[in-house]
Amino acid sequence: MRTAPKALAQRPQANLMLSRVAHSLYWMSRYIERAENIARLLEVNLQFILDFQGYDDAHLKEHWGSILASSGDLELFEKYYESSDSRSVTEFFAFDLRNPNSILACVFAARENARMIRDQISIEMWETLNELYLFLKARSTADVWVAGPYEFFHDIKRNSHLFQGLTDATYSRSEGWEFIQFGKYIERANKTARILDVKYHILLPDASDVGGALDTAQWQAVLRSASALEAYRRFYVSEILPWKAAEFLIFSDSFPRSIHFCAAQVDEFLRRILGETGARPRSEAARASRRLLANLQSLTIDEVLKDGLHEFLVATAAALDLISEDVVNTTMFYPAESTQEEQQLQQQQ
């Protein structure tokens, strides 16, 4: 175990215990949000491939390769799988415990963090997490293919929504609540950036395809991955246009999965956690959060596209990582729970 930061080492034991609880609440919230977002990404892209049945093996490899690349897990996938097709990618992202970002690994990690603070959360929260874990343990990729992927991923999303709704309804608005919300919005903003970056990695064969049927379908899939399609249509009414879809997912201040909305929530809960009440932020995390939010409030989609959408998304993800790491290092005594050995043991079993 690493040495506690000086700021924490000087705190009373009661606060160290609070830091331990805060750590588990934060990661519990992040992991359950991550599992839901992976389920969204898989469900939408499996449906997209089904809609475009003319995809040959080369197009399938390119399509799934772009998703693996945007997730940052391409190298790990290639270590264990020979080809990137629908079944192998589903196995890797849904059930493979060698992938720490698989749905099963995330739900397992969320459950472990919840178990360590069982007395700090409501029984409804614990039961929902436990039932979701048991649901996943009882299934495999073959089961998903037989029953249909839609129902499987729908159950994961529904359980995630149930968990978050129960958290809203049963958890006291205390310091622990702030860490739960901070973790959720950090993860959600990061995943929305990655979902958008998927489109960047899907290289169209010809510039003439931009604005065509395939391009429109891909942008529609991006919006559906963030559950933003209906909200987008209510806001813009017109057809799906690439720059408007990107603008909505980045700059909307009212849609709860846009980067701007999530960044505003991150900044709000960060202020509460760190006690940053003044006009001039003192901590590195608060300064990074303020810069990110200022950019999202001042930039336009034209400026983002001119400088490069991919570069903007990479910089945004880096800022979110910096904020997260600084808060973890300065407010939480315990490092992120490592479950790799336990995951490998369960996989062997």
Q: Mean of the per-residue pLDDT values for the chain?
A: 84
The pLDDT, as a whole number, for residue 55 is 62
CA 37 – CA 71 distance, rounded (Å): 11
Tokens matching residue 140: 């495999």
The pLDDT, as a whole number, for residue 205 is 44
Residue-wise pLDDT tens digits, 111-170: 999 999 999 999 999 999 999 999 999 998 888 888 888 889 999 999 999 999 999 999
The pLDDT, as a whole number, for residue 45 is 84
SS3 100: coil
The pLDDT, as a whole number, for residue 57 is 67
User: Are the CB atoms for 49 and 221 separated by under 8 Å?
Assistant: no
User: Are the CB atoms for 258 and 192 separated by under 8 Å?
Assistant: yes
Place of tokens 């409030």: 297
CA 162 – CA 68 distance, rounded (Å): 28
The pLDDT, as a whole number, for residue 200 is 66
Q: Which of 229, 186, 193 is nearest to 44 (CA)?
A: 229
The pLDDT, as a whole number, for residue 2 is 37
The pLDDT, as a whole number, for residue 289 is 95
CA 73 – CA 55 distance, rounded (Å): 23
pLDDT at 208 over 60: no
Q: Which of 260, 263, 264 is nearest to 246 (CA)?
A: 260
Q: Is residue 80 very low, low, confident or very high in pLDDT (cuts 50, 70, 90)?
A: very high
- Work out whether the CA dihedral 316, 317, 320, 326 comes out positive or negative: negative
CA 126 – CA 104 distance, rounded (Å): 16
Tokens matching residue 143: 């089961």
pLDDT at 101 over 70: yes
- % of the chain exceeding 70 in pLDDT: 83
pLDDT at 15 over 50: no
87-106 burial, b at 16+ Cβ within 10 Å, e below that, comes to: ebbbbbbbbbbebbbbbbbb
Mean pLDDT calculated for residue range 259-272: 96
- % of the chain exceeding 90 in pLDDT: 57
Mean pLDDT calculated for residue range 323-341: 70
CA 263 – CA 298 distance, rounded (Å): 14
SS3 273: helix
Residue-wise pLDDT tens digits, 41-63: 899 888 877 766 656 667 777 77
Q: Of 11 and 41, which is predicted with more confidence?
A: 41
User: Are the CB atoms for 182 and 269 separated by under 8 Å?
Assistant: yes
The pLDDT, as a whole number, for residue 23 is 92
pLDDT at 69 over 90: no
- Of 210-214, 218-222, 274-278, least confident by mean pLDDT is 210-214
The pLDDT, as a whole number, for residue 332 is 77
Mean pLDDT calculated for residue range 225-236: 91
CA 334 – CA 20 distance, rounded (Å): 6
Judging by beta carbons within 10 Å of its beta carbon (0-12, 13-18, 19+), is residue 219 exposed, middle or buried? buried
